A = this chain, B = another copy of it.
Amino acid sequence: MRSDQREVNELRKITIETDYVKHPEGSVLISFGDTKVICNASVEDRVPPFLRGQGKGWITAEYAMLPRATEQRNIRESSKGKVSGRTMEIQRLIGRALRAVVDLDKIGERTLWVDCDVIQADGGTRTASITGAFVAVVLAFGKMVDKGTIKELPVKDFLTAISVGVLKDGKEILDLCYEEDSQAHVDMNVVMTGQGEFVELQGTGEEATFSMNQLQEMLSLAQEGVTELITLQKEAIGKWSETIESKQSSKAAGK
């Protein structure tokens, strides 16, 4: 039994609240248990210098935690005057993952800024961020389609992320809370599409290593979690869900 009584393959309670903040084109408050992240998607009508004049768009992400999102207060990165390596790693991961399922050629020379701000942390903030950011991004693009700014939803597939790991006793588990995460020997973040393909895989032995068998077991748990998360995303994005599914079908048919 896990510290919070969950089964090894059981997700925490996941909720996705849309239109959480009024200004952004897409805004979501996502909870993975006590982990709560505000994901805001903002549209900017220009692209970074390296893309100018190519007629395609860009998606970039930023990630931060409120100083007291954690048990101990952290110094603000704005006060320190620089962004930590951990933050950079996470925001690069979120942006890369989102770009894998968006057709950047179909959004014109625009940038989608995705801000993931953790207001309460209890493990799994990066996977909650990706899962929530996907919803915010779909809603922002959906608003653009409704307004006629772009012709069709440029989203090729669903995108979710979940953590898996190996506890000290060798047991593989799904969706680690902070207490589990801080004690795990192995920690892996899996980002997958609705089609069951991998977008990103980051497994790390924390002063430890893991075998091929453990890897297989973790990937299998991840797949279970991802299926549930996609169901919740579909509810959150409503009518846009079908559009994405139809793209999946045509893509599968075209294979």
Residues of A within 8 A of B (CB): 21-24, 27, 34, 38, 40, 42, 44, 62, 64, 66-71, 73, 76-83, 85-89, 91-92, 96, 99-100, 104, 113, 115, 117, 119-120, 157, 188, 193, 195-212, 215, 219
Contact = CB atoms under 8 A, between A and B. Distances in A.
A78 B100 CA distance: 26
Given A23-B120, A198-B210, 8 more contacts: A21-B66, A62-B76, A76-B78, A78-B87, A81-B81, A86-B92, A89-B92, A202-B203
Q: Is the interface of A mostly helix, strand, loop or mixed?
A: mixed
Contact of A68 (B42, B66, B200, B205): B42
16 contacts: A22-B120, A42-B73, A64-B76, A78-B82, A85-B85, A88-B88, A96-B204, A96-B206, A100-B206, A100-B209, A119-B119, A157-B209, A196-B211, A201-B201, A201-B202, A201-B203
